[in-house]
Structure 1
């Protein structure tokens, strides 16, 4: 199916019809079923295909693109619905029902959820990255992290569509900070890419290196920011991402300095230790608290928060066996 992506959408829909179309959709459903039952290869294939499809919506093509294909949209929705169902399955039954209705108390409850979650101050960062990681380990680390860090500006741009008032201003300020406050050399994705230069990471290796859980992290971010119906989930997902970053990046900076790696490669992480602390505080007070007046928003923000916490925990747990080998 990846070979379909650089095709004209109308031509693709005209070429794949009838029994062939039904067979393709059945194959996607079978792939989703296998992934749901714990087949690691199916899970990887599912998330890899979804990531490649999302590339149509987040990258400027050099030629024809299947973006807009009805068939491809149907496939995308099957993959997304299976991913959503799986992620919801990791949420403890009844947990979201415990959320307080009063906005300030709700925010405190969200933070408490994070502090009591096993992902908070995860040993991958606090022990391995900080004190044991080699330069090769950091090289692997930045490749996996690229699925979110490498396009955070685009995620913010997508999620702010349709917002207004304090929430729109907060997201816009966050976005402008990501844009280096108008200075091209300080754009955060540009600074992040300096790490790739230090480690000499080519694009084809980057794609091959991504694990299923790393792909999932990137896919969840795009899924929530792309669709307006998932805006509140995106608020929880990205807000929690920024809240967790400063403590994690302190450990990365410590490792970078311990290994004596080129200073140009760690500017991004140093910057975000301070910036994301400010962003998280502004996000909580200008985006989360006003939205928390609504029960629908409270439940959905909590859902997105838990998606981030749970998926991040699985992603970091996945890194630990490789560390022990």
Structure 2
């Protein structure tokens, strides 16, 4: 996993997922996509191999699995990382800006990931992902859409996130999330990965919101992180009850795939935190 490889995957994802018009060279583009899909598949399988042993320990009975999954909030990779208390209490404006630039450049778009993942899911989980998506969309109010909230903060800071200046760990996180959501053989993995975000995001969001407040930013600027510090707690409870539980009840084999997806997401996050600390604390 190198800068060049992750940058290439990120550029390809940006291009292939953007709305487009038909072109005369579509067959050439298909050949490119096939090559990139093979590379993406190898990347995901490498990540799976890193977490497979731990994921295999996840129970496949419903109650046992939900307990195992919820425990990831404390014992999952990257949890309780010292980066976030430091951001909340000590980071300068420049250091926080660098952190946010890295996080935003590697942002895959939770709303789009949910939309891709819900395709052909069973009814109960599909409805839960739909409710989650509706929240991401501000329940129909453009001012309440989560994505634009984050981009508004980036504009306030005068940041310009770019693939070329983003550490590979952040790009790898976004590339992994995109791969799981857009590739149907990893659909259960994506459900687990998205559930892991809901489970673990509140603490990190609260720390980032505290940093923004300490540095004099308005509540409007910090709205995205203040919102996720609170809302994702309920989202996680609903996700585990309405999506994970019925999926594992219907087919216990899904527990292992969901566990792998969650651990992949958390391991990629852990790599980001380690790299951020190395850069910020050097």
TM bin (shorter chain): over 0.9
Give the alignment partner of residue 297 of structure 1, picking from 237, 254, 257.
Answer: 254
Q: How does 1:27-176 map to 2 (within 5 A)?
A: 35=1, 43-61=2-20, 69-91=29-51, 93=53, 95-126=54-85, 128-147=86-105, 149=107, 151-176=109-134
* In 1, Cα distance between equivalents of 2:12 and 2:194: 21
* In 2, Cα distance between equivalents of 1:310 and 1:150: 16
Deviation at 1:186, TM superposition (A): 1.3
CA deviation profile, 1:166-206 (whole Å, cap 9, x unmatched): 1111100100000101001111111111111111123xx53
Unaligned runs of 5+ in 2: none
Give the alignment partner of residue 224 of structure 1, picking from 177, 180, 202.
Answer: 180
Partner of 1:120: helix, strand, or coil?
coil
Q: How many residues align?
A: 280
* In 2, Cα distance between equivalents of 1:256 and 1:226: 34
1:245 corresponding residue in structure 2: 201
Q: 1:139 to 1:221 in 2, by over 3 A?
A: same
* In 1, Cα distance between equivalents of 2:138 and 2:26: 30
Runs of 4+ displaced beyond 6 Å = 65-68
How high is the TM-score relative to the length of structure 2? Answer: 0.92
Unaligned runs of 5+ in 1: 1-34, 36-42
1:177 corresponding residue in structure 2: 135
Deviation at 1:113, TM superposition (A): 3.9
* In 2, Cα distance between equivalents of 1:226 and 1:92: 21
Structure with the larger RCO, 1 or 2 (CA within 8 Å, 6+ apart): 2
Q: CA RMSD in A?
A: 2.0
Cα contact 1:125–1:248 (8 A) shared by 2: yes
User: Within the alignment, does 1:215 sit opposite 2:171 as a pair?
Assistant: yes
